[in-house]
Structure 1
Amino acid sequence: MPFDSSDRRGPGRGTGERAINLPPAVLWLIVLNVAVQLVRGLLDTPEDESIILTFGLVPAAYTGGGGDLLSLLAAPITYQFLHGGWLHLGINMVTLAAFGAPIERLLGARRFVLFYLSAGIVAGFVHVLINPGAGDPVIGASGAVSGVFGAVLMLMRYVGSLTSLYPVAGVWIAVNVFFGIFGGTPGAGDAEVAWAAHIGGFVYGLLAIRFFAPRRE
């Protein structure tokens, strides 16, 4: 990427380089997501369903009242680390690796994690706003990853490698609305696609990345 500021030394970068050359925050986010999926695989179905209901983001719990306080406080973050299966997880983590690495190298690990999680939080509450009475939990890192993708486009526009945001953003939003209405997204199975969360995270990424990027003197 044109804004990837990692120090690269060409073909002979030395023998101490990691086999998986991802910056630390992106790598640990992927490891944490995979670890959560592995642990869930060891649980019985009722226990796993209980975790999804407790730590997934349920819109009706916020709009209808009566939700457990721990769940209400934790779910906007924890839902980002729960996935509908290995394919769902794999798609999100590959996308995170591709787009998150250059963004973390620009922001640094701490700012990147704050940006990533905040994108997921905003994405989740956009879903709540659009589906206030929904009783089914939304899960997955797609909203946060969409924020990272939005940040990539904005930075590409900033450095001049993308002449206009509108065609790419328009197509991306249209695709998400299409799959949200008609289904068929890879990895989603029979679950409803949280298209509003994807779009909310994406728009947040476009608008918010400038506040996280370090200022240059």
Structure 2
Amino acid sequence: MPLDTLASPAPPREPILTLPGALTAYVGLLAAIHIIRMLLPVDLEYWTIEVFGFIPKRYDQTLLSMPFPGGNGAKVWTFVTYSLLHANLSHIGFNVLWLLPFGSALARRFGAVRFFIFMAVTAVAGAAAHLVTHEHALAPMIGASASVSGAMAAAIRFAFVRGSFLSFNRGDADEAARVPALPLLRALRDPRVIGFLAVWFGVNIIFGVGSIAIGAEGASVAWQAHIGGFFAGLLLFSLFDPIPRLQRTGSQTSSRDMSDLH
């Protein structure tokens, strides 16, 4: 009589795409706000854009200045709240699509509190860049693209140290997202970082996928806000990063190569 063989238990299956809780909450917030706005009457929907969108004209100190809904408070909160509004489904879809890989790595590395503060800070930087370049513009700017750009810039500080953080396996993604980051000047000498920067700037200048300015002349791309958020993420990353910087030692150079993550 043949002996029954005991099959080894199958390894637990993981979801195809695992997102950290902070990123899931952020995307859920963007989606919930957009759904609520879609259900509002047209007049009230646009009122929310005027109150929470970023309008450079709101800060005009000339005799041609005009009142806007929200008063002085809106001059403060719209530096952040504009990043939570989107023009349409394709607008929010593009931002979420770019955010999923880079935002996941950043949320895993920073934790929830640092991640949310970082997204707010890069939104402020994007609004400031837009204000400087559109001093008297009346069209509201909305969209999370400045924050998404900041997350992308921060992620490249550690993305190429040992392979890539883009993995469908939660354990690999957690490990890759927590590798020590390169100092900024060293990172900027990495050909892969330079290549990424070239592609990113090219995409934004040529196609301008991201933040939308809504006005009488239709929609246009606020690419200056993208650049403001990107540089803020690149330069301020170290202030948020809880992982000590990379120190090249023999043990690190002999550590497992993670280039098979994709």
Give the TM bin, normalised by the shorter chain: 0.7 to 0.9
In structure 2, the residue corresponding to 1:133 is in which secondary structure?
Answer: coil
Distance in 2 of aligned mates of 1:28 and 1:100: 12
Tell me how far apart the structure 1 counterparts of residues 35 and 16 of structure 2 sit (CA, whole Å). 23
| Matched AA of 2:219 | A
Which residue matches 1:61?
58
Q: 1:109 to 1:95 in 2, by over 3 A?
A: same
Residue type of the partner of 2:87?
Answer: G
Q: Which has the higher contact order (CA 8 A, sep 6+)?
A: 1
* Matched position secondary structure for 1:191: strand
8 Å CA contact retained: 1:80, 1:144: yes
Q: Per-residue displacement from partner, 1:183-208 (whole Å, max 9, x unpaired)?
A: xx489694110000011111111111
* Distance in structure 1 (CA, Å) of the matches to 2:154 and 2:12: 29
8 Å contact from structure 1 (residues 91, 187) kept in 2: no
Q: How many residues align?
A: 200
Instruction: Map 1:29-68 onto structure 2 (within 5 A).
Output: 29-64=26-61, 66=67, 68=71
Distance change >3 Å, CA 118–CA 186, structure 1 → 2: closer
Q: More helix per residue: 1 or 2?
A: 1
CA displacement at 1:138 relative to structure 2: 0.2
CA–CA distance in structure 1, aligned partners of residues 206 and 136 of structure 2: 22
1:8 is matched with none
Is 1:196 aligned with 2:217?
Answer: no
Matches within 5 A, 1:30-179: 30-64=27-61, 66=67, 68-157=71-160, 159=161, 161=163, 163-164=190-191, 165-179=193-207
Which structure has the greater CA radius of gyration? 2
Relative to the length of structure 2, the TM-score reads 0.69
AA in 1 matched with 2:134:
N
| C-alpha contact 2:55 2:139 (8 A) present in aligned 1 | yes
Distance 1:92 1:173 in 2: 16
Cα offset, 1:24, TM superposition? 1.1
Gaps of 5+ in 1: 1-10
The Cα RMSD (Å) is 2.5
Unaligned runs of 5+ in 2: 1-9, 164-186, 246-262
Q: Deviations over 1:76-109 (max 9, x none)?
A: 1111110010111111112222211111111111
Give, in angstroms, the shift of residue 168 of structure 1: 2.1
Using the alignment, how far apart are the partners of 1:169 and 1:91 within structure 2? 19
The residue type paired with residue 129 of structure 1 is V
Q: Deviations over 1:121-170 (max 9, x none)?
A: 1111111111111110000001100000111112224x154833333213
The alignment-based identity, stated in percent, is: 31
Q: How high is the TM-score relative to the length of structure 1?
A: 0.83
